[in-house]
């Protein structure tokens, strides 16, 4: 019978960060970032940049999406 492997100590170079920038609770307006790596040299990817459509509250607007430049 084999013994279970002992868990590795967390390595800060393997850190995964989730950063919801807004709209995660609202359909179509989510903008989330995932970061990987140590804090001073982290790589980021923007995921799930949602869009929604205009309605009677936004006359003349067909498409609404988050502005990452904001």
The Cα–Cα gap between 60 and 18 comes to 35
The whole-number pLDDT of residue 4 equals 65
The Cα–Cα gap between 2 and 50 comes to 47
Domain boundaries, the chain: 12-64
Reported pTM: 0.60
Q: Would you say 42 and 18 are in contact if contact means Cβ atoms under 8 Å apart?
A: no
pLDDT < 50 positions in the chain: none
The whole-number pLDDT of residue 16 equals 94
Q: What percent of the chain has pLDDT over 90?
A: 30
């Amino acid at each position: 019978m084999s013994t279970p492997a002992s868990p590795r100590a967390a390595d800060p170079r393997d850190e995964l960060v989730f950063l919801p920038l807004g709209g995660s609770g609202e359909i179509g307006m989510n903008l989330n970032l995932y970061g990987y790596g140590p804090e001073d040299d982290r790589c980021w990817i923007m995921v799930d940049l949602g869009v929604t459509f205009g309605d009677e509250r936004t006359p003349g607007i067909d498409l609404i999406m988050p502005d990452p430049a904001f």
